[in-house]
Amino acid sequence: MGSWLQTPPGRYLLAWEQDRLDHAVTDAFGFHALQLGLPEVEALRANRMPHRWVASNTLYTPESLALPPPLDSQITTQPGVEPLSLHCEFDALPFPNASVDLVVLPHALELARDPHQTLREVERVLVPEGRVVIAGFNPASLWGLRQRAGHAKRGMGLGRDQSLYLPSAGDFIGYWRLRDWLRLLSFEVESGRFGCWRPPLKSEAWLERFDWMDRVGDRWWPVLGSVYFVVAVKRVRGMRLVGLVRKEKRALRGAPAVVANRQRERANLER
């Protein structure tokens, strides 16, 4: 995935995702933020939490992280507050329960060995009302169709990795399928957005020629974007202790009419 991000379509995707990530994490407050996967993506650079980690399940070398920033980048990480690197498995995070305020997964679910367990681990370490930000490839897009065609060609023995447009590793997860997973884990989807509507072309010049499709696609066929971006909030059903409500039992006072009736009955008897 890291080497693919250095290709023209990879840089095009990275520029869009970096812009969305900067807007999504800027207003996320708390003390602890965690990024799972893709250290090439500076997902937490616009966040102001004092404790930040970038976790990876693969050992990276400094040369593999030498990726130029997007051309339209205007946000830089403040000196002295760079995130700490962490090597761990995504389905067994080394954090206690309810200890992280923000978790960002840039294509981490697609590359995880167990995406269900990874999402459960994210739910476990997040504090109540904590946020999770997920970016993933959309199978129902032109890029997804091109990728499935490449896999079919490989299955027939007509090509290898060069027939694939997107990285060969990982299993892409549909947008609505991901929303179902989040709902089962008591997450509330706060926002969902699609992006990157240009055709699956490998030339930077041809990708630039179809830049008009981003404007048209955002308005007329948004769900066909090549990548989706989801922000969800962890909701916890808490118990509300009301306590014993002591209500004064008001004694039923005898109605004046009843007393009057009794007096009338006595008067009638005396007569």
Q: Is the pLDDT of residue 12 over 80?
A: yes
Cβ proximity of 31 and 47 under 8 Å = no
Maximum distance among all alpha carbons in the chain? Answer: 120
Q: How many domains does the chain have?
A: 1
Q: Is the pLDDT of residue 141 over 80?
A: yes
Distance, in Å, from the CA atom of 136 to the CA atom of 195, rounded to the nearest integer, reads 11
Distance, in Å, from the CA atom of 210 to the CA atom of 206, rounded to the nearest integer, reads 7
Q: What is the CATH number of the domain that holds 141?
A: 3.40.50.150
Q: Assign 206 a pLDDT band (cuts: 50, 70, 90).
A: very high
Q: Is the pLDDT of residue 225 over 70?
A: yes
Instruction: Give strand ranges (E) for 67-125.
Output: 84-87, 100-106
The tens digit of pLDDT for each residue in 109-120 reads: 988 889 999 999
Domain containing 170 equals 4-270
Q: Is the pLDDT of residue 238 over 50?
A: yes
Cβ proximity of 135 and 105 under 8 Å = yes
Q: Assign 72 a pLDDT band (cuts: 50, 70, 90).
A: very low
Q: How far is CA 115 from CA 10, 66, 99, 118, 223, in A?
A: 23, 28, 21, 5, 22
pLDDT at 61: 46
The tens digit of pLDDT for each residue in 43-54 reads: 999 999 999 999
Helices (H), 81-174: 108-111, 115-125, 142-155
Share the mean pLDDT of the chain: 81
Tokens of 84: 């700490």
**CB neighbours of 101 closer than 8 A, spacing ≥ 6?**
28, 29, 30, 31, 32, 33, 49, 126, 127, 130, 131
Q: Which residue has the higher pLDDT, 248 or 11?
A: 11
Would you give the DSSP letter of residue 255? P
- The residue-averaged pLDDT of 65-79 equals 43
The tens digit of pLDDT for each residue in 19-69 reads: 999 999 998 889 999 999 888 889 999 999 999 999 987 755 444 444 444
- The residue-averaged pLDDT of 73-101 equals 76
Q: Which residue has the higher pLDDT, 158 or 108?
A: 108
- The residue-averaged pLDDT of 115-131 equals 95
Cβ proximity of 137 and 110 under 8 Å = yes
Q: Which residue has the higher pLDDT, 163 or 24?
A: 24
Distance, in Å, from the CA atom of 168 to the CA atom of 161, rounded to the nearest integer, reads 7
pLDDT at 168: 77
Distance, in Å, from the CA atom of 96 to the CA atom of 126, rounded to the nearest integer, reads 9
The closest alpha carbon to 105, from 229, 225, 215, belongs to 229
